[in-house]
Amino acid sequence: MSQVSKNREAVADRTVVGIDFGGTKIEVALADARGTVLERVRMETRADQGPDQALDRAVAAARRLERLSLRTHGMAVGAYAAVSPGVIQSDRILLAPNLPGWERIALARRLERALGAEKVAVCNDVRAGALAELRFGALRGVDPGVYVSLGTGVAAALTIGGGVVAGAHRAAGEIGYVDPGGAGAGAVAEGHAPLEEIVGGKALGERASDLLGVGLTAEALFLRQDAAARRIVRAALGALAVAISNIAVFVDPERIVVGGGMMASADTILPTLTAHLARTVPFPPQVAVAHFVEDASLYGAVALALDHLDAAHGGRHPGDRSGPAGPRRRADPGPAGPQSAAGDPVQCAGASGRR
């Protein structure tokens, strides 16, 4: 048997564990070498109780899945990955206000010690979502591509050459801090995220509630047909469209995919973005709903762990995978593992080089 065949066999006989830390929930998944989720555990984050209890419970769940992998599926876990909101650096996590105390957490090292693993790959949750789309979803075969996440907050990720761009400070794609016009020179320094405060689901719902005098979520706002509600929606989507158009002019992406909780209103959001791009971008990209709408970051953690597993065994091109079996919302057609900067944890930043 050739070394390549041995490597492929070694990868096929392993499972991976992906951990998705969020502001309200934590999910831990066990997946096979094709990305199919075999088991998953969901729990509350209890963010107000600090990071230690959340990390301890996630590790305990990962341990249970390790045992289940051997007992039920006859395979050992070969790689781990974790994703989290914020800017994940080697010794801290920045810009994650929904996870108080996490700014002091060295996520990769903490999980490596707790799991007894040589490496735990880590990634920002939105870039993880882009990685899931790149491996299994609407960005598969697309180069370059842009992934936009519209939920409580707003963020994006750029995919080039089969990898997700991390940026010099692991902060690429934090478009919530983009100034859509009129934010003021010191807005970010004063702690504001100008675009997110206009378009983010939480801020949009709060602003609409104040203006209309009734408690509203962003989803409820999009369903309203009265003129005042329509004006609020148009203003928010107009600011978003300007930001995305500017990104499209600079990057010239083949496709932009949009995911996140606000895609419940895709019938309003996507036509607005498509029309604005058609008017303002010399070569307008296709705009599509993301393949993973509800759990992109969890599948991103799985994809990152699989890349790490492949790299450890001199593996295969990720395009060899047919993709995960699991809950997905849209199967639009849509290229590949982790690199580590000196002193930094393995992140979903670069291409795997397995072409």
User: What count of other Cβ atoms lies within 10 Å of the Cβ of residue 280?
Assistant: 15
Q: Which residues pair with 339 in a beta bridge?
A: 347
- Residue 322: predicted pLDDT: 47
In this prediction, residues 161-177 reach a mean pLDDT of: 93
More confident residue, 255 or 97: 255
Residue 311, pLDDT score: 83
Average pLDDT over residues 220-227: 94
Sequence-separated (6 or more) residues with CB below 8 Å from residue 189: none
What's the pLDDT tens digit per position in 44-72? 999 999 999 999 999 999 999 999 999 99
Cα(259)–Cα(280) distance, integer angstroms: 22
Query: According to the model, what pLDDT value does residue 12 have?
Result: 75
- b/e sequence 61-88, b meaning 16+ C-beta within 10 Å: bbbebbebbeeeeebebbbbbbbbbbbb
Label the pairing between strands 163-164 and 154-160. Answer: antiparallel
Average pLDDT over residues 153-160: 95
Looking at residue 183, what is its pLDDT? 75
DSSP-derived secondary structure letter, 57: H
pLDDT score of 250 more than 60: yes
How confident is the model over 21-47, as a mean pLDDT?
96
Q: CB under 8 Å to 17, separation ≥6 — which residues?
A: 28, 29, 30, 31, 62, 65, 66, 77, 79, 80, 81, 305
pLDDT band at 182 (very low <50, low <70, confident <90, very high): confident
Task: Give, in order, the Cα–Cα distances in Å from 147 to each of 70, 142, 319, 341.
Answer: 35, 11, 19, 23
Mean pLDDT over 25-31 rounds to 97
Residue 329 pLDDT > 60, yes or no?
A: no
pLDDT tier for residue 348 given thresholds of 50, 70 and 90: low
Residue 185 predicted with pLDDT over 50: yes
Q: What is the mean pLDDT of residues 184-198?
A: 85
Contact assessment for residue 186 and residue 296, using Cβ atoms and an 8 Å cutoff: no
Instruction: Tell me the pLDDT tens digit for each residue of 286-307.
Output: 999 999 988 999 999 999 999 9
Q: Is the pLDDT of residue 7 over 90?
A: no
pLDDT higher than 60, residue 346:
no
The average pLDDT across 98-125 equals: 95
Confidence of residue 190 (pLDDT cuts 50, 70, 90): confident
